Structure 1
Amino acid sequence: MSVTELQELVRFLEDRFACAQACTDCARVCALRASLADLDGPEDQQLLRRKGILCAEVCDATCRVLAEQETQSEDSMRAQVEWCRAVCLETAHVFDRSPGSEEGARSCRDCARACSEFLTLLR
Protein backbone atom coordinates (compact mmCIF):
# COMPACT_ATOMS: atom_id res chain seq x y z
CA MET A 1 0.00 0.00 0.00
CA SER A 2 1.44 3.37 -1.00
CA VAL A 3 1.65 6.34 1.34
CA THR A 4 -1.13 8.08 -0.60
CA GLU A 5 -3.40 5.02 -0.36
CA LEU A 6 -2.67 4.75 3.34
CA GLN A 7 -3.47 8.43 3.88
CA GLU A 8 -6.74 8.02 1.97
CA LEU A 9 -7.65 4.99 4.09
CA VAL A 10 -6.87 6.85 7.32
CA ARG A 11 -8.96 9.84 6.22
CA PHE A 12 -11.80 7.51 5.21
CA LEU A 13 -11.77 5.80 8.62
CA GLU A 14 -11.47 9.09 10.51
CA ASP A 15 -14.41 10.61 8.62
CA ARG A 16 -16.41 7.43 9.05
CA PHE A 17 -15.79 7.53 12.80
CA ALA A 18 -16.64 11.26 12.94
CA CYS A 19 -19.90 10.57 11.11
CA ALA A 20 -20.76 7.68 13.43
CA GLN A 21 -19.95 9.81 16.49
CA ALA A 22 -22.12 12.66 15.18
CA CYS A 23 -24.95 10.17 14.58
CA THR A 24 -24.63 8.88 18.15
CA ASP A 25 -24.66 12.40 19.59
CA CYS A 26 -27.61 13.40 17.43
CA ALA A 27 -29.57 10.27 18.38
CA ARG A 28 -29.04 10.99 22.08
CA VAL A 29 -30.15 14.63 21.81
CA CYS A 30 -33.13 13.83 19.57
CA ALA A 31 -34.33 11.05 21.86
CA LEU A 32 -34.06 13.36 24.85
CA ARG A 33 -35.87 16.18 23.04
CA ALA A 34 -38.60 13.78 21.90
CA SER A 35 -39.11 12.52 25.45
CA LEU A 36 -39.67 16.10 26.62
CA ALA A 37 -42.29 16.83 23.97
CA ASP A 38 -45.88 16.64 25.16
CA LEU A 39 -47.70 13.64 23.68
CA ASP A 40 -51.06 15.33 24.02
CA GLY A 41 -49.78 18.82 23.31
CA PRO A 42 -50.24 20.98 20.25
CA GLU A 43 -49.67 19.52 16.82
CA ASP A 44 -46.20 21.10 16.55
CA GLN A 45 -45.12 19.31 19.75
CA GLN A 46 -46.35 16.02 18.37
CA LEU A 47 -44.43 16.67 15.14
CA LEU A 48 -41.31 17.50 17.14
CA ARG A 49 -41.66 14.25 19.04
CA ARG A 50 -42.20 12.14 15.91
CA LYS A 51 -39.29 13.78 14.08
CA GLY A 52 -37.04 13.44 17.11
CA ILE A 53 -37.79 9.74 17.44
CA LEU A 54 -37.35 9.13 13.71
CA CYS A 55 -34.07 11.03 13.65
CA ALA A 56 -32.75 9.13 16.67
CA GLU A 57 -33.66 5.80 15.04
CA VAL A 58 -32.12 6.73 11.67
CA CYS A 59 -28.94 8.02 13.32
CA ASP A 60 -28.69 4.86 15.41
CA ALA A 61 -29.13 2.67 12.33
CA THR A 62 -26.55 4.72 10.43
CA CYS A 63 -24.05 4.34 13.24
CA ARG A 64 -24.55 0.56 13.11
CA VAL A 65 -24.08 0.53 9.33
CA LEU A 66 -20.86 2.51 9.67
CA ALA A 67 -19.62 0.09 12.32
CA GLU A 68 -20.23 -2.98 10.12
CA GLN A 69 -17.58 -2.39 7.50
CA GLU A 70 -17.36 -5.93 6.21
CA THR A 71 -21.08 -6.51 5.70
CA GLN A 72 -21.92 -3.25 3.94
CA SER A 73 -21.45 -2.41 0.28
CA GLU A 74 -20.42 1.12 -0.54
CA ASP A 75 -23.79 1.69 -2.26
CA SER A 76 -25.81 0.63 0.78
CA MET A 77 -23.57 2.70 3.04
CA ARG A 78 -24.02 5.74 0.78
CA ALA A 79 -27.80 5.31 0.74
CA GLN A 80 -27.96 5.04 4.54
CA VAL A 81 -25.74 8.09 5.10
CA GLU A 82 -27.68 10.16 2.54
CA TRP A 83 -30.95 9.19 4.26
CA CYS A 84 -29.48 10.13 7.62
CA ARG A 85 -28.35 13.51 6.30
CA ALA A 86 -31.82 14.25 4.87
CA VAL A 87 -33.65 13.23 8.07
CA CYS A 88 -31.26 15.27 10.21
CA LEU A 89 -31.85 18.39 8.11
CA GLU A 90 -35.63 17.92 8.23
CA THR A 91 -35.50 17.43 11.99
CA ALA A 92 -33.32 20.52 12.44
CA HIS A 93 -35.98 22.58 10.65
CA VAL A 94 -38.68 21.22 12.97
CA PHE A 95 -36.53 21.91 16.03
CA ASP A 96 -35.91 25.46 14.80
CA ARG A 97 -39.62 26.15 15.23
CA SER A 98 -39.68 24.94 18.84
CA PRO A 99 -38.29 27.15 21.61
CA GLY A 100 -35.77 25.28 23.75
CA SER A 101 -34.75 22.93 20.94
CA GLU A 102 -31.63 24.79 19.86
CA GLU A 103 -29.26 22.02 20.99
CA GLY A 104 -31.26 19.45 19.05
CA ALA A 105 -31.19 21.56 15.89
CA ARG A 106 -27.44 22.10 16.27
CA SER A 107 -26.80 18.37 16.78
CA CYS A 108 -28.88 17.54 13.72
CA ARG A 109 -26.97 20.02 11.58
CA ASP A 110 -23.63 18.77 12.92
CA CYS A 111 -24.63 15.23 12.02
CA ALA A 112 -25.81 16.28 8.54
CA ARG A 113 -22.48 18.06 8.01
CA ALA A 114 -20.51 14.97 9.12
CA CYS A 115 -22.62 12.84 6.77
CA SER A 116 -21.90 15.23 3.89
CA GLU A 117 -18.18 15.17 4.60
CA PHE A 118 -18.15 11.38 4.72
CA LEU A 119 -20.13 11.13 1.48
CA THR A 120 -17.45 13.09 -0.37
CA LEU A 121 -15.13 10.15 0.25
CA LEU A 122 -17.61 7.66 -1.21
CA ARG A 123 -18.07 9.37 -4.56
Structure 2
Amino acid sequence: MPTAKAPISSATTTKAATISPTLMAPLLAAMSIHALVMNPEYPRSRAQAPLRSGSCARADPGARGRRRKTAGALGNTGRRGFGAHRSGNPRGVTTSTSQQELFQFLEDRFACAQACTECARACALRASLVDPEGTENQELVRRKGIMCAEVCDATCRVLSEQNQVDEEAIRVQLEWCRQVCLESAHVFDQQPGAEDSAAACRACARACGEFLATLR
Protein backbone atom coordinates (compact mmCIF):
# COMPACT_ATOMS: atom_id res chain seq x y z
CA MET A 1 0.00 0.00 0.00
CA PRO A 2 1.61 3.32 -1.08
CA THR A 3 2.48 5.64 1.72
CA ALA A 4 1.24 9.21 1.60
CA LYS A 5 3.96 11.68 0.89
CA ALA A 6 4.37 14.60 3.19
CA PRO A 7 3.17 17.84 1.60
CA ILE A 8 5.89 19.99 0.22
CA SER A 9 6.21 22.99 2.44
CA SER A 10 6.06 26.37 0.80
CA ALA A 11 9.28 28.33 0.57
CA THR A 12 9.97 30.53 3.48
CA THR A 13 9.19 34.10 2.60
CA THR A 14 11.50 36.82 3.67
CA LYS A 15 10.75 40.44 4.01
CA ALA A 16 12.03 42.45 1.06
CA ALA A 17 14.84 44.83 1.74
CA THR A 18 13.81 48.45 1.78
CA ILE A 19 15.71 51.61 0.96
CA SER A 20 15.14 54.65 3.11
CA PRO A 21 13.82 57.77 1.34
CA THR A 22 16.98 59.72 2.24
CA LEU A 23 19.12 57.20 0.34
CA MET A 24 16.82 56.89 -2.67
CA ALA A 25 17.68 60.26 -4.29
CA PRO A 26 21.49 59.77 -4.14
CA LEU A 27 21.08 56.21 -5.49
CA LEU A 28 18.97 57.37 -8.43
CA ALA A 29 21.40 60.23 -9.04
CA ALA A 30 24.39 57.91 -9.18
CA MET A 31 22.60 55.52 -11.56
CA SER A 32 21.57 58.35 -13.88
CA ILE A 33 24.99 60.00 -14.04
CA HIS A 34 26.68 56.61 -14.54
CA ALA A 35 24.37 55.90 -17.48
CA LEU A 36 25.16 59.28 -19.04
CA VAL A 37 28.92 58.89 -18.67
CA MET A 38 29.08 55.28 -19.88
CA ASN A 39 26.80 55.79 -22.87
CA PRO A 40 27.98 58.62 -25.18
CA GLU A 41 24.82 58.31 -27.27
CA TYR A 42 22.60 59.05 -24.30
CA PRO A 43 20.33 62.00 -25.36
CA ARG A 44 21.40 65.33 -23.94
CA SER A 45 18.82 67.79 -25.24
CA ARG A 46 17.05 68.35 -21.92
CA ALA A 47 18.35 68.69 -18.38
CA GLN A 48 15.88 67.37 -15.85
CA ALA A 49 15.79 67.78 -12.12
CA PRO A 50 16.84 65.32 -9.42
CA LEU A 51 14.12 62.88 -8.43
CA ARG A 52 12.98 63.47 -4.87
CA SER A 53 9.86 62.64 -2.97
CA GLY A 54 8.09 64.29 -0.07
CA SER A 55 9.08 67.52 1.56
CA CYS A 56 12.40 68.98 0.45
CA ALA A 57 12.92 70.29 3.96
CA ARG A 58 13.49 66.69 5.05
CA ALA A 59 16.57 66.34 2.84
CA ASP A 60 19.65 64.60 4.21
CA PRO A 61 21.53 67.31 6.19
CA GLY A 62 24.86 65.66 5.35
CA ALA A 63 24.36 66.06 1.64
CA ARG A 64 26.03 69.50 1.49
CA GLY A 65 29.52 68.14 1.98
CA ARG A 66 29.23 65.41 -0.59
CA ARG A 67 29.70 65.60 -4.30
CA ARG A 68 26.52 67.09 -5.68
CA LYS A 69 24.56 64.33 -7.30
CA THR A 70 21.62 64.92 -9.56
CA ALA A 71 19.35 62.42 -11.20
CA GLY A 72 18.81 63.73 -14.73
CA ALA A 73 16.15 62.22 -16.87
CA LEU A 74 17.35 63.33 -20.29
CA GLY A 75 15.36 62.94 -23.48
CA ASN A 76 15.53 64.09 -27.07
CA THR A 77 12.01 65.18 -27.99
CA GLY A 78 12.98 67.86 -30.50
CA ARG A 79 10.90 70.39 -28.53
CA ARG A 80 11.71 72.95 -25.90
CA GLY A 81 10.65 72.10 -22.41
CA PHE A 82 10.91 70.43 -19.07
CA GLY A 83 9.31 67.14 -20.01
CA ALA A 84 6.72 67.72 -22.70
CA HIS A 85 6.52 71.48 -22.23
CA ARG A 86 9.26 74.06 -22.71
CA SER A 87 12.95 73.94 -22.15
CA GLY A 88 14.41 74.29 -18.69
CA ASN A 89 17.91 74.42 -20.14
CA PRO A 90 19.96 77.61 -20.08
CA ARG A 91 20.73 79.29 -23.37
CA GLY A 92 23.30 77.35 -25.33
CA VAL A 93 22.47 73.94 -23.86
CA THR A 94 21.65 71.88 -26.94
CA THR A 95 22.24 68.39 -28.22
CA SER A 96 25.83 69.41 -28.98
CA THR A 97 26.49 70.79 -25.50
CA SER A 98 29.40 69.11 -23.76
CA GLN A 99 28.81 66.80 -20.83
CA GLN A 100 30.78 69.17 -18.61
CA GLU A 101 28.42 72.07 -19.38
CA LEU A 102 25.39 69.87 -18.86
CA PHE A 103 26.68 68.60 -15.53
CA GLN A 104 27.36 72.21 -14.48
CA PHE A 105 23.75 73.16 -15.23
CA LEU A 106 22.44 70.19 -13.25
CA GLU A 107 24.73 71.00 -10.33
CA ASP A 108 23.63 74.65 -10.34
CA ARG A 109 20.01 73.57 -10.21
CA PHE A 110 20.72 71.12 -7.40
CA ALA A 111 22.69 73.78 -5.50
CA CYS A 112 19.69 76.10 -5.68
CA ALA A 113 17.37 73.38 -4.40
CA GLN A 114 19.82 72.58 -1.60
CA ALA A 115 20.01 76.26 -0.58
CA CYS A 116 16.21 76.35 -0.45
CA THR A 117 16.23 73.24 1.75
CA GLU A 118 18.69 74.73 4.22
CA CYS A 119 16.85 78.06 4.33
CA ALA A 120 13.53 76.30 4.95
CA ARG A 121 15.08 74.37 7.83
CA ALA A 122 16.70 77.47 9.36
CA CYS A 123 13.52 79.54 9.10
CA ALA A 124 11.34 76.80 10.55
CA LEU A 125 13.75 76.49 13.48
CA ARG A 126 13.79 80.25 14.03
CA ALA A 127 9.99 80.41 13.98
CA SER A 128 9.74 77.57 16.49
CA LEU A 129 12.00 79.41 18.95
CA VAL A 130 9.80 82.51 19.06
CA ASP A 131 7.17 82.81 21.77
CA PRO A 132 3.71 82.93 20.08
CA GLU A 133 2.59 85.27 22.88
CA GLY A 134 5.64 87.52 22.53
CA THR A 135 6.02 91.08 21.35
CA GLU A 136 4.86 92.43 18.01
CA ASN A 137 8.39 92.20 16.64
CA GLN A 138 8.67 88.58 17.76
CA GLU A 139 5.39 87.78 16.08
CA LEU A 140 6.69 89.32 12.85
CA VAL A 141 9.80 87.14 13.07
CA ARG A 142 7.66 84.06 13.66
CA ARG A 143 5.34 84.79 10.71
CA LYS A 144 8.23 85.59 8.36
CA GLY A 145 10.02 82.43 9.41
CA ILE A 146 6.99 80.27 8.70
CA MET A 147 6.30 81.95 5.37
CA CYS A 148 9.90 81.74 4.19
CA ALA A 149 10.12 78.07 5.19
CA GLU A 150 6.99 77.26 3.20
CA VAL A 151 8.09 79.20 0.11
CA CYS A 152 11.58 77.68 0.14
CA ASP A 153 10.18 74.19 0.55
CA ALA A 154 7.78 74.77 -2.35
CA THR A 155 10.62 76.10 -4.52
CA CYS A 156 12.76 73.06 -3.76
CA ARG A 157 9.90 70.79 -4.82
CA VAL A 158 9.42 72.76 -8.05
CA LEU A 159 13.11 72.36 -8.86
CA SER A 160 12.80 68.65 -8.13
CA GLU A 161 9.89 68.04 -10.50
CA GLN A 162 10.85 65.90 -13.48
CA ASN A 163 8.26 66.65 -16.16
CA GLN A 164 5.37 68.66 -14.78
CA VAL A 165 6.87 72.16 -14.50
CA ASP A 166 7.73 74.40 -17.44
CA GLU A 167 10.40 77.07 -17.55
CA GLU A 168 8.11 80.05 -16.94
CA ALA A 169 6.69 78.49 -13.77
CA ILE A 170 10.23 77.91 -12.51
CA ARG A 171 11.17 81.55 -13.18
CA VAL A 172 8.14 82.81 -11.26
CA GLN A 173 8.82 80.50 -8.31
CA LEU A 174 12.51 81.43 -8.16
CA GLU A 175 11.80 85.17 -8.21
CA TRP A 176 9.13 84.82 -5.51
CA CYS A 177 11.48 82.77 -3.32
CA ARG A 178 14.29 85.29 -3.82
CA GLN A 179 12.13 88.21 -2.72
CA VAL A 180 10.70 86.40 0.31
CA CYS A 181 14.18 85.35 1.44
CA LEU A 182 15.51 88.90 1.23
CA GLU A 183 12.53 90.24 3.20
CA SER A 184 12.95 87.54 5.84
CA ALA A 185 16.69 88.21 6.13
CA HIS A 186 15.95 91.89 6.79
CA VAL A 187 13.51 90.95 9.57
CA PHE A 188 15.93 88.45 11.11
CA ASP A 189 18.67 91.10 11.17
CA GLN A 190 16.65 92.93 13.81
CA GLN A 191 16.23 89.83 15.98
CA PRO A 192 19.11 88.98 18.38
CA GLY A 193 20.41 85.45 17.81
CA ALA A 194 18.90 85.14 14.33
CA GLU A 195 22.12 85.81 12.42
CA ASP A 196 22.36 82.24 11.08
CA SER A 197 18.79 82.36 9.79
CA ALA A 198 19.45 85.68 8.06
CA ALA A 199 22.60 84.27 6.45
CA ALA A 200 20.70 81.19 5.21
CA CYS A 201 18.03 83.43 3.69
CA ARG A 202 20.59 85.56 1.85
CA ALA A 203 22.39 82.47 0.59
CA CYS A 204 19.12 81.10 -0.74
CA ALA A 205 18.23 84.41 -2.38
CA ARG A 206 21.64 84.51 -4.03
CA ALA A 207 21.33 80.90 -5.28
CA CYS A 208 17.86 81.59 -6.70
CA GLY A 209 19.13 84.70 -8.47
CA GLU A 210 22.11 82.88 -9.96
CA PHE A 211 20.06 79.97 -11.25
CA LEU A 212 17.37 82.34 -12.50
CA ALA A 213 20.04 84.09 -14.59
CA THR A 214 20.84 80.83 -16.39
CA LEU A 215 17.21 80.51 -17.51
CA ARG A 216 17.02 83.97 -19.09
**Taking structure 1 as the reference length, what is the TM-score of the superposition?**
0.95
5+ residue gaps, structure 2:
1-94
1:116 aligns with 2:116: no
Larger relative helix fraction:
1
Higher relative CO (Cα under 8 Å, sequence separation at least 6) belongs to: 1
1:81 aligns with 2:181: no
Which SS does the other structure have where 1:100 is aligned? coil
User: How many matched pairs?
Assistant: 122
AA of the residue aligned to 2:195: E
Per the alignment, residue 190 of structure 2 pairs with: 97
1:3, CA displacement in angstroms? Answer: 4.1
Give TM-score scaled by structure 2 length.
0.55
The CA deviation string for residues 20-60 of structure 1, in whole angstroms up to 9 with x for no partner, is 00000000000000000111111010000000000000000
CA distance in 2, matches of 1:18, 1:85: 14
CA distance, structure 1, for counterparts of residue 97 and residue 169 of structure 2: 28
Residue in 2 aligned with 1:18?
111
Q: Percent identity?
A: 68
CA distance in 2 between counterparts of 1:3 and 1:45 reads 50
2:157 paired residue number: 64
Structure 1 unaligned spans of 5+: none
